[in-house]
Structure 1
Amino acid sequence: MLSTVACRALAITFIGLALTNNVQGSNHPISNDIVCPTNSHVSFVHNSYTYNAPLHKFTDITGSFFNASWNPGVIVNSTTGTDNVPGATRSGSFAGYIFNETLTAIEKRSDALLSSYHGKGFTFILGPSYPALRVDGYSETLRFESICSGKATYIDFITYTCSDNQRLTYTAWSMAHTSALDGLAQTLGATILAGVCPEEAHCDKH
């Protein structure tokens, strides 16, 4: 049995190699960075989640740009183009506002699904205690990636928005992302993964 020090040293080495490989072999579709109009400011939101369920459990449901029914409250009313082909559009409603999004990139692999899309602006109210929020456009990438030897899934949203209230924009997007992913995980019976793969847990037990 490896000592705690040895286990940690191996873990640090592995993480360093993994990060290097990820940077060198990154297949991130596009840059999400956007240029905002006058009186609008860029907000950056990054939300990440890990769940005890294999990748296909999530991608079987989320793999269609035209089908967003997995996201509570999202209703797609119309589409143009071909599903999962860049240039396709979807329009609909969410929380009382109308959204219009264009798929800009998509990548499907056996170990990951990534999709990027741009959205047009809108104005909405998050709740009775919040002021109206004007969003002048946004760009988002959603990634599902297999981890823990296929036993779990890592998910993240990387979002850039142009808005008149950066703090409120961050709150609104984070709430929407967390609500959608937690709801989906609950539907699948997937529990939150605490950051250590089950087969690696023995490193801290002696």
Structure 2
Amino acid sequence: MLSTVARRALAIVFIGLTLTSSVQGSNHPISNDIECPANSHISFVHNSYTYNAPLHKFTEITGSFFNVSWYDNAIVNSTTGTDNVPGAKRSGGFAGAIFNETLTAVEKRSDAYIFSYHGKGFTFIPGPSYPPLRFDGYAETMRFESICGGKATYIDLLSYVCSDNQPLTYTVWSTLHTSSFDGLAQSFGATVLAGDCPQEAHCDKN
């Protein structure tokens, strides 16, 4: 019979393999490998939202990498490559600064839309009460997933940002996410899903 130590070791290996398989079950790679320069530190931001509206309501608006007007009124001024194909680039104006971003991965399914992109650094002023904030590069993954039998949508955002001010970076990025997605949902009358799925629907998120 296996010793207690051996059994525990096998259990740990099994759990690790299970988790790895779960992550690799999707064809979409989470590409957030960024390196921060000197005097800049990586900030991790994770936000999630759930709304009473089907997935297609969101993807009809967010489904183009070349159109980000829904994302806090960002404006794309120039593009290269093919829309929604990894390697496509977009640049434009945001909060008085210029952004330059490259699509790194995308996955579209009937029940989910997931994409990742990397951005180059820029500096902007968050507001009159805040100092200039420098971003030395960032990577973001957005996932839109159909839940509750297609009656609702779960949105998950994972961001890594190199900056010279980690606390302010977290506040700014999280505020940007919340205002953008609440505004997007409100634009077509979706409300926040706080709690269980509607009784008449089957919640299949897991």
For 2:113, the equivalent position in structure 1 comes to 113
Identity %: 78
- RMSD of aligned residue pairs (Cα, Å): 1.8
Q: Partner letter of residue 120 of structure 1?
A: K
Residues 24-76 of structure 1: CA deviation (Å, up to 9, x unaligned): 62444233131111111000000100000000000011100001122232110
Contact 1:50–1:195 (CA under 8 A) maintained in structure 2: no
Distance, in Å, in 2 between the alignment partners of 1:69 and 1:133 is: 22
Instruction: State the TM-score, normalized to the length of structure 1.
Output: 0.84
User: Which portions of structure 1, spanning 4 or more consecutive aligned residues, are displaced by more than 3 angstroms?
Assistant: 19-24
- Cα pair distance change 1:24/1:93, threshold 3 Å: closer
For 1:8, the equivalent position in structure 2 comes to none
- Cα pair distance change 1:195/1:33, threshold 3 Å: farther
Contact 1:81–1:88 (CA under 8 A) maintained in structure 2: yes
Contact 1:86–1:106 (CA under 8 A) maintained in structure 2: yes
Contact 2:31–2:105 (CA under 8 A) maintained in structure 1: no
For 1:100, the equivalent position in structure 2 comes to 100
User: What are the within-5 Å matches in structure 2 for residues 151-166 of structure 1?
Assistant: 151-166=151-166
**Structure 2: runs of 5+ lacking an equivalent:** 1-17, 202-206
Distance, in Å, in 2 between the alignment partners of 1:179 and 1:67 is: 17
User: What are the within-5 Å matches in structure 2 for residues 67-146 of structure 1?
Assistant: 67-146=67-146
3-state SS in 2 of match to 1:198 = coil
- Cα pair distance change 1:153/1:31, threshold 3 Å: same
In the TM superposition, what is the alpha-carbon distance from 1:181 to its structure 2 partner?
0.3
- Cα pair distance change 1:128/1:26, threshold 3 Å: same
3-state SS in 2 of match to 1:184 = helix
Q: Partner letter of residue 77 of structure 1?
A: N
In the TM superposition, what is the alpha-carbon distance from 1:125 to its structure 2 partner?
1.1
- Cα pair distance change 1:120/1:130, threshold 3 Å: same
For 1:65, the equivalent position in structure 2 comes to 65
For 2:47, the equivalent position in structure 1 comes to 47
Instruction: State the TM-score, normalized to the length of structure 2.
Output: 0.84
Contact 1:117–1:141 (CA under 8 A) maintained in structure 2: yes
Q: Partner letter of residue 191 of structure 1?
A: T
Contact 1:45–1:174 (CA under 8 A) maintained in structure 2: yes
For 2:3, the equivalent position in structure 1 comes to none
In the TM superposition, what is the alpha-carbon distance from 1:174 to its structure 2 partner?
0.6
Aligned length in residues: 183
